Structure 1
């Protein structure tokens, strides 16, 4: 945990009878022990099969257990206090990429969140990915990295629910679903698509 926002989120969870999404113990949405799963050194990883042209990917945790529970709870159950630890974990992953880069001095990182369908945002009552991206940018700035968010992608066709799809099915589901609003907006920038 870290700032006054964390204290407010934890207090709200306690007052409303919340529990940790990882261990299910009463308390904040993510207890300190479970939060440690998201607060690790980044490591290089690749999905299998890796899509052609996939750049270097870093993560701080494998998708499973606490991480999966936190993502699903934030996204589907509106556990908004999870945006901060998820955003910090994303920022650590971005820092891993920067450390690996040959010249990461004075870098401007442009975070481009994948757009959500308007209907889905309305149904959920929030845009989980945008919320996590904002927390990521905040964490990167605290670490001295210039980070901006640019909603440079737009939805050009609806996509189906990704739950339960394998890698090939997900790729087919997303193929041609997004386009850049104006390609020149991203030219010459270091872009992280979230």
Structure 2
């Protein structure tokens, strides 16, 4: 399954796109290579490099496809902040690769299918600002890739905000933890509508982990809801 996720169809290319009647050449956000959505070198850094494992303070294990620097960082920023949705297919493969390790890698215990992928809930103001839901979309794309490879995987939105939270940008480690502590809860209505069992196994999905505050807050809410959190699969980790 891992080989299918990381290599099959993993070279998205587009010679240009139309804007205002003009042909605008694409460039790879990772290195600037022209006429590449993501160039082969940057793609390989995400999809063929060694996976990174990182235990968080609450015991949740994070698996990342790359370190949060260089091309990986620039690719995530391009997709999340600059509207480069065409980069999303490579980021989704990076997440799917990490999820495979979390859910089926060495040392993992058995769990009943389907595996659930859960992303942090997105604030409405963020959706309106970006015109998209980057992390939930990433989870859905990764789930589709894994299903195509033969796995029983479902991306579901099970969490909701319990209160308003500040933007994480500019906050230090302790401030981020305080900002998100108790900020999410599992929605019984969403669990019922998705047909999810309370004992289902879950992998948390995010684009990047820096302090780990978001993943820990999501994992805590899922565990309080009775779900089994196997770990987190992300594109990149600091």
Q: TM-score, normalised by structure 1?
A: 0.85
Which secondary structure state, in structure 1, belongs to the residue aligned with residue 185 of structure 2? strand
| Corresponding residue number in structure 2 for 1:57 | 62
Change (3 A) 1:169 1:29: farther
| Corresponding residue number in structure 1 for 2:35 | 27
Kindly state the Cα deviation for residue 37 of structure 1 after the two structures are TM-superposed. 1.3
Residue 177 of structure 1, aligned match among 161, 179, 183:
183
| Corresponding residue number in structure 1 for 2:44 | 36
Task: Identify, as 1 or 2, the structure richer in strand.
Answer: 2
Which secondary structure state, in structure 2, belongs to the residue aligned with residue 57 of structure 1? strand
| Corresponding residue number in structure 2 for 1:192 | 203
Which secondary structure state, in structure 2, belongs to the residue aligned with residue 162 of structure 1? coil
Structure 2 gaps of 5+ residues are 1-6, 206-238
Task: Give runs of ≥4 in structure 1 deviating > 6 Å.
Answer: none
Contact 2:111 2:201 in 1 (8 A): no
| Corresponding residue number in structure 2 for 1:11 | 15
Instruction: Count how many residue pairs are aligned between Structure 1 and Structure 2.
Output: 189
Kindly state the Cα deviation for residue 42 of structure 1 after the two structures are TM-superposed. 5.5
Kindly state the Cα deviation for residue 70 of structure 1 after the two structures are TM-superposed. 1.0
| Corresponding residue number in structure 2 for 1:156 | 162
- Asked which structure has the greater RCO (Cα within 8 Å, sep 6+), the reply is 2
Alpha-carbon RMSD: 2.6
Structure 1 gaps of 5+ residues are none
Residue 72 of structure 1, aligned match among 74, 77, 81:
77
Contact 2:78 2:84 in 1 (8 A): yes
Kindly state the Cα deviation for residue 56 of structure 1 after the two structures are TM-superposed. 2.3
Q: TM-score, normalised by structure 2?
A: 0.70
Contact 2:11 2:38 in 1 (8 A): no
- For 2:134 and 2:91, locate their aligned partners in 1 and report how far apart those are by CA, in whole Å: 10
